[in-house]
Each structure stands twice: as structure tokens, then as C-alpha cells.
Amino acid sequence: MIRDRGRIKWTAMMLPEHLEKLRDWVAEDAYEEKPTLDEWAWQDIQQQLDIAYRTGREILIKTWENGVIKNRIGVLKKVNSQLGLIDLEVGQDVQTFSLDAVIGMETMDFS
């Protein structure tokens, strides 16, 4: 069996420009297109927002930001429909993000 240093062996011979291009390539490979939502999906999101706001339950919100899909879990504090913003309390922090970034939503059920 050949025991070499693998990646470490070849990294020393790469120029900084090569490493930069490799990082760009990996970032480009991880990019996801924003899913398009139909009317049914928007109605489901609205319904889940309403339930989470009235009951004070935790909610899982899936957002798309710059090619990355993020899952956020917290308690819904405020929905500003005029500005299109949502305030979500995650632990001690309050995160504010756009309604346009939301691609899915689900209330957490602990039964």
C-alpha cells in the first residue's frame, strides 16, 4: 500500500491563484438555484405563519440566500407585510429577514 501525504503533498506546489480558482469552483458547485413557489406553496406559507404567530409555537423556516438554503428554527415575533420582513427569535437573538427569501415553512409539533 502506498502511504503518501495525499492532498498535503500537492498543495505545496500550487500557486495562490490556483487555490483561489479551486475555492471559487467549490463555491460555484455548491450554488443552488432559488426554487419557484406556486400559489399553493404561498398559501401554505401564509397559513403556517398565521398558526405560528397565533400559537407562539416554534417554527422551521427555510430561506434561500445567495445560492444557499438555510433552515432557521425559532419563535415568530413579528411579521411586517408592508415591508416584507419577518422577525424570528432564535435563542436570545432576533433575526430579521425578507419574506421573499422564504421558500418553505413548517410549525414544530412536540406531541
The structural domains of the chain, with segments of one domain joined by +, span: 39-107
pLDDT at 4: 58
Question: Is residue 31 left, alpha or beta, with left meaning phi > 0 and alpha meaning psi from -120 to 50?
Answer: beta
Right CATH for 39-107 from 2.30.30.520, 3.90.180.10, 3.50.50.60, 3.30.70.580: 2.30.30.520
pLDDT at 44: 93
Which residues in the chain land under pLDDT 50?
A: none
pLDDT at 11: 62
pLDDT at 7: 59
Q: With the CA atoms of 17, 22, 27 and 31 taken in that order, what torsion angle do they form, in degrees rounded to the nearest 10?
A: 120
pLDDT at 25: 85
